[in-house]
Amino acid sequence: MRKYIIILTLLVLFGLMQFVRPERNLQTNPSRYDIFYLTETEGSIISTFQTACYNCHSSNTAYPWYASVAPVSWAINSHINNGKKKLNFSEWILYDKDQQIKLLMEISEVLKEHEMPPKPYIWLHAEARLTEADRQRLDEWIINKKEEIKASLN
């Protein structure tokens, strides 16, 4: 009998948890502050960043179905908030240039060290897996971008 009461209590708790819904990270318009807004960047570079990074580092997340279910929704929300706090590609133009350079160096580092995208994320999102060649291509782009910003400082 006790077992049933415990199971029932857990079910009710799970049900109640569903009422706590984090606000969704969904911006309706394409951001005018996006790192790629009106740039001449090659499409494949843009799409690689978008596929591998934008769910946590932009103002627009493509949510999978299970993202609606608490407590998964809470965990995802916290990843997005923490990711965006460090780096938001949708608000890139609002960073000052020194900050942009610093972020580019950090991006280069996390790519080299295979810290991003986070491993558990790749297990669920095979499309976000980056090959060595992808990482190399992104890094070349980062180096150029950094030079471009440095040149504009002088």
Which residues bind to ligand HEC, rule: CB under 6 A?
Answer: 52-53, 55-57, 79, 82-83, 86-87, 106-107, 110-111, 116-118, 121, 128
Which is nearer to ligand HEC, 24 or 79 (by Cβ)?
79
Q: How far is the CB of 117 from ligand HEC (least distance, A)?
A: 4
Q: How far is the CB of 21 from ligand HEC (least distance, A)?
A: 19
Q: What angle do CA 133, 81, 71 make, to 5 degrees?
A: 100
Which is nearer to ligand HEC, 21 or 86 (by Cβ)?
86
In contact, 83 and 56? CB cutoff 8 Å? yes
Q: Which two tokens stand for residue 40?
A: 């001449």
Q: How far is the CB of 113 from ligand HEC (least distance, A)?
A: 9
- Cα distance between residue 24 and residue 61, in whole Å: 8
Sign, CA dihedral 48-53-59-63, equals: positive
Which is nearer to ligand HEC, 50 or 70 (by Cβ)?
50
